[in-house]
Amino acid sequence: MGNTVLIIVGVILIAGTLGFLLAKLLEKNNASQIVSNAKKEAANIVKEAKSEGESIKKDKILQAKEKFIELKSEHEKVILSRDKKINDAEKRTRDKESQVSSELAKNKKLNKEIDIKIKDYDDRLEYLDKRQSDVDKLHASKVQQLEVISGLSADDAKEQLVESLKDQAKSDAMAFIQNAMEEAKLTAEQDAKKVIINTIQRIGTEEAVENCVSVFNLESDDVKGRIIGREGRNIRAIEAATGVEIIVDDTPEAIILSCFDSVRREVARLSLHKLVTDGRIHPARIEEVVQKTTKQIEQEIVEVGKRTVIDLGIHGLHPELIKAVGRMKYRSSYGQNLLQHSREVAKLCATMAAELGINPKLAKRAGLLHDIGKVPETESEMPHALLGMEWAEKYGEKPDVCNAIGAHHDEIEMKTLLAPIVQVCDAISGARPGARRQVLDSYIQRLKDLEDIAFGFAGVKKAYAIQAGRELRVIVESEKVNDEKAAALSFEISQKIQTDMTYPGQVKITVIRETRAVNIAK
């Protein structure tokens, strides 16, 4: 039993040893095979790498050759272009040299010809000088012979001849002047009358004297009560805002607006029209409408000026002068509307200038602008003709037009024919029957003087002369004038009027002081 176990153990040991040896042998065979395969693969990789390296080397060499060829071609092009430029420059230089050579040859030829002509001229001058000397000698001998024959010297004979010719020329000239003066006297007055009559006949205008009242028509008498308002507050607000006296009487469906200033009267008329149309009539609304209407009148003044210059065909007038022309609509001269008067003078000037052969457009321009000095926004002591001339010069009008404006009342000397034309046409327009009324102008001036006296005191905001100058309504600034000063101001203005003005009847001075507290709820 024991031997059997030993045998089995021995067999197992032998089998294990054999298996180990066999495994080692197999492992060695596998390793050698792997190594062999790896060597083969490495050899293949090396071979492929060499082949690829040769291919890359060939490609790079080829690219380098192509790049070299390209650079060489570009370099050759640059060299060719440079050679071409050099050749062109050389050609231009040769052309210039050839041109200069030809010019030099021409100049040499011209200089030679000039030298020949100069020599010829010198010869001729020498010949002429010799001939002049011979003529002078001959003339002197002839004069001596004549002096011997006549018994007079040359100076005495010349003096006698001049005296005889002078006397004859004087008599001829006096006869000619006398005839010309007689002919001019016969024809000048007739021609002047003809030009003026033709001018007047060709201009036909309607004349209407300006007045100081406007009638505002109403649809019904019920509106009068709304205009007056509770205890008269609405009518007082309108009068205070516009400075126009509103007369509500028994005239059916009409109220009267009275004011010497046509601008204020027009503002009041348009404001009343808006208030009556809108239906809302109360003091706050009245003030708002009056402010808007005042701005509207300012815009309308500009539009009137533009329409006037367009109608008359006048171009290039400065905007300030256009505004002054529009303001003429609300000014009058001795009762004659200033804009209508200026339009008429412009047309008369153009017609008369055309008859006399003078520029009619320039004459029309001077005629329209001749009275712009009557519409200043501020009072001036300068005559209106000189003030208008200053405005025209300031805004680029021509010297002829400026002189005609300044000289149409003989304040300055007339320098062109345009000035007497404007003066004559101004007289023609104002001399028409019914065209002017001097009383109205003095009346308006008196009312303006009343207002100016009030504005001369500190704290006065507005001043309105109403009731045909029998009442002066003064509105003061409440911050500057208190109640005691208001009473004192009324007295001072009355004393000033008594000492400085001459007026019929009495003048009532009413000083109005109003305090307002305004806040806005948000």
User: Domain of 446: which CATH number?
Assistant: 3.30.300.30
Which position has the token pair 């469906």? 253
Residue 245's φ and ψ, nearest 5 degrees, are: -85, 130
Which position has the token pair 């712009």? 372
Q: What is the pLDDT of residue 430?
A: 73
Residue 372 lies in a domain: yes
- 396 in helix, strand or coil? coil
271 has pLDDT over 80:
yes
- The whole-angstrom separation of Cα 279 and Cα 229 is 12
**Which of 516, 460, 466 is CA-nearest to residue 490?**
460
Residue 2 lies in a domain: no
Q: Residue 260: how many CB atoms within 10 A of its CB?
A: 26
436 has pLDDT over 60:
no
Q: What is the pLDDT of residue 190?
A: 58
236 vs 32, more confident = 236
Q: What is the pLDDT of residue 208?
A: 47
| Position 358 confidence tier, pLDDT thresholds 50, 70, 90 | confident
For range 176-195, the mean pLDDT = 64
Same domain for 224 and 253? yes
Q: Which of 431, 465, 494 is the last residue of a domain?
A: 431
| Position 193 confidence tier, pLDDT thresholds 50, 70, 90 | low
* CB-CB contact of 308 with 343 (8 Å): yes
Same domain for 334 and 427? yes
For residue 495, the Cα-to-chain-centroid distance in whole angstroms is: 49
Which position has the token pair 């905001």? 461
420 has pLDDT over 50:
yes
Same domain for 90 and 110? yes
- Strand 254-258 to 245-247 pairing: antiparallel
Mean pLDDT taken over the chain: 80
The structure tokens listed for 200 are 């007047």
Domain extent, residue 225, equals 213-299
Q: Residue 286: how many CB atoms within 10 A of its CB?
A: 27
- The whole-angstrom separation of Cα 422 and Cα 360 is 12
- The whole-angstrom separation of Cα 413 and Cα 400 is 12
Same domain for 449 and 414? no
For range 319-331, the mean pLDDT = 86
- The whole-angstrom separation of Cα 60 and Cα 323 is 90
Residue 459 lies in a domain: yes
Same domain for 456 and 495? yes
Number of helices (H) and strands (E) in the chain: give both, helices first: 14, 8
* CB-CB contact of 174 with 185 (8 Å): no
Same domain for 350 and 397? yes
Residue 506 lies in a domain: yes
72 has pLDDT over 80:
yes
Q: Identify the H or E element spanning 422.
A: helix 418-431
Of 47-51, 308-312, 446-450, which one has max mean pLDDT?
308-312
Residue 374 lies in a domain: yes
Same domain for 417 and 446? no
- pLDDT of 127-136, one tens digit each? 888 888 888 8
214 has pLDDT over 80:
no
**Which of 289, 200, 305, 195 is CA-nearest to residue 238?**
289
- 255 in helix, strand or coil? strand
Of 137-146, 327-336, 377-386, 458-467, which one has max mean pLDDT?
458-467
For residue 6, the Cα-to-chain-centroid distance in whole angstroms is: 141
- The whole-angstrom separation of Cα 428 and Cα 234 is 46
**Domains identified in the chain, total number:** 4
Q: Which of 125, 149, 165 is the last residue of a domain?
A: 125
Residue 154 lies in a domain: no
Same domain for 419 and 332? yes
* CB-CB contact of 427 with 411 (8 Å): no
Same domain for 482 and 389? no
Same domain for 228 and 277? yes
User: 9-23, 89-103, 186-200: which range is least confident on average?
Assistant: 186-200
Q: What is the pLDDT of residue 136?
A: 82
What is the maximal distance between C-alpha atoms in the chain? 213
Q: Residue 468: how many CB atoms within 10 A of its CB?
A: 16
Q: Residue 58: how many CB atoms within 10 A of its CB?
A: 10
Give the CATH number of the domain where residue 240 resides. 3.30.1370.10
Q: What percent of the chain has pLDDT above 90?
A: 0
490 vs 504, more confident = 490
Q: Which of 431, 451, 484 is the last residue of a domain?
A: 431
Same domain for 410 and 449? no
**Which of 465, 200, 421, 444 is CA-nearest to residue 333?**
444
The structure tokens listed for 243 are 């400075």
For range 356-377, the mean pLDDT = 86
- Whether the pTM exceeds 0.85: the reply is no
Same domain for 415 and 451? no
